[in-house]
């Protein structure tokens, strides 16, 4: 059972790594959610601005105002494209965090299974040792009782 303290250390270290991976995953999820909110806001703002352009065009709009609307919409489209990249990157970080968490969880499960197996083997050895001791006592008692008759 001399391996158990080392295994306990491995289990403790892996538990800490699992906790860190969970924190990292939560942080990545929060960042992804914020990035998605910003993207949604940009889409909403672009939709509102495009609607304003249509409403202005119905009432008549000067060429310079129309160009300003179009430039601003182009700027919003670029911002949306960049934000899509940010969302994709944050989603990738979240997925990497998930994979790290799963890896730590599998490692912890393996160590715990090994620990359980070691405890079971130790218990079996103890039971066998006790059985041998009991058998020896019984054999000695039997020999003594045979010698007296």
Residue 21 sits at φ, ψ, to 5 deg, of -65, -40
Domain carrying residue 34:
3-108
Residue 137 falls inside a structural domain: no
pLDDT at 56: 84
pTM of the shown model:
0.72
Residue 145 falls inside a structural domain: no
pLDDT at 60: 83
Residue 143 falls inside a structural domain: no
Token pair belonging to 22: 């969970």
Angle at which helices 63-148 and 3-59 cross, to 10°: 160
Output the CA torsion 109→114→118→119 (10° steps): 10
pLDDT at 2: 52
- pLDDT per residue, tens digit, the chain (149 aa), is 456 788 899 999 999 999 999 999 999 999 999 999 999 999 999 999 999 888 888 888 888 888 998 999 999 999 999 999 999 999 999 999 999 999 999 999 999 999 999 999 999 999 999 999 999 999 998 888 887 65
CATH of the domain at 67: 1.10.287.1700
pLDDT at 1: 46
Residue 74 falls inside a structural domain: yes
Q: Largest Cα–Cα distance in the chain?
A: 128
Residue 146 falls inside a structural domain: no
Residue 118 falls inside a structural domain: no
Q: Collapsing DSSP states into helix, strand and coil, what is residue 60?
A: coil
* Total tally of structural domains belonging to the chain: 1
Residue 101 falls inside a structural domain: yes
């Amino acid at each position: 059972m001399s391996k158990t303290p080392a295994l306990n250390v491995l289990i403790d270290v892996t538990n800490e790594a699992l906790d860190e991976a969970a924190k990292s995953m939560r942080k990545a999820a929060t960042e992804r959610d914020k990035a998605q909110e910003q993207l949604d806001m940009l889409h909403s703002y672009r939709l509102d601005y495009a609607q304003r352009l249509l409403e202005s065009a119905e009432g008549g709009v000067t060429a310079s105002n129309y160009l300003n609307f179009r430039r601003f919409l182009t700027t919003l489209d670029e911002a949306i494209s960049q934000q899509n990249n940010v969302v994709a990157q944050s989603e990738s970080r979240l997925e990497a965090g998930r994979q790290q968490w799963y890896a730590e969880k599998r490692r912890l499960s393996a160590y715990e299974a090994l620990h359980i197996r070691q405890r079971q083997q130790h218990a079996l050895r103890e039971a066998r040792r006790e059985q041998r001791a009991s058998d020896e006592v019984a054999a000695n008692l039997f020999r003594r009782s045979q010698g007296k008759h």
